[in-house]
Amino acid sequence: MEKKILLESKTESLNVVEKTIDEFAVKHKIAGKFYGNIQIAAFEIVQNSIRHGNKYDPQKIVELRLKIENDSLVIITKDQGEGFDFNNVPDPTAPENIEKTAGRGIFLLRNLADSLIFHDNGRISELVFNIPNQVVQI
């Protein structure tokens, strides 16, 4: 099962992400903490693509794909930005960064998902959530 949507690079697109995750979770009976982690992570990764990747450029889109593979939900986003050095993102828990109000997105994603993988110089992100069969029910 796979769902793909194209999003405009504007903040209002995050409403579409929320609705899409809700519908996908209901359809695939994903509930509990897994649902919450998935909703927050999807929102964050798309927001990063819109803001940092596409820089709110109305001519650029963000592709969002959701798919179930075995006992996992995979969320893939693709933006049309220049990419970034995902191996050198500052640690938000380091003393010099602890009081900064930004720069926690990737840290958050790595803690919510079972894995976070970047491709194509950071323009494509892949979040994987392992969802045991007994949890995929309401």
How many angstroms separate the CA atoms of 73 and 66, rounded?
7
Phi, psi of 62 (to 5 degrees): -115, 130
Proportion of the chain above pLDDT 70, given as a percent: 96
Q: Domains in the chain and their CATH numbers?
A: 2-130 (3.30.565.10)
Residue 9 DSSP label:
S
Evaluate if residue 123 carries a pLDDT over 90: yes
CB 90 within 8 A of CB 103: yes
pLDDT of residue 133: 66
How many angstroms separate the CA atoms of 116 and 126, rounded?
6
What are the pLDDT digits (tens) for 81-107?
999 998 888 888 888 888 887 778 899
What are the pLDDT digits (tens) for 4-56?
999 999 999 999 999 999 999 999 888 888 899 999 999 999 999 999 999 99
Amino acid, single-letter form, for residue 117: I
Amino acid, single-letter form, for residue 131: I
CB neighbour list of residue 96: distance below 8 Å, 6 or more residues apart: none
Evaluate if residue 125 carries a pLDDT over 70: yes
pLDDT of residue 131: 85
| Mean pLDDT (the chain, rounded) | 91
SS3 content of the chain, % helix, strand, coil (to 5): 35, 25, 40
Cα 59 → chain centroid = 21
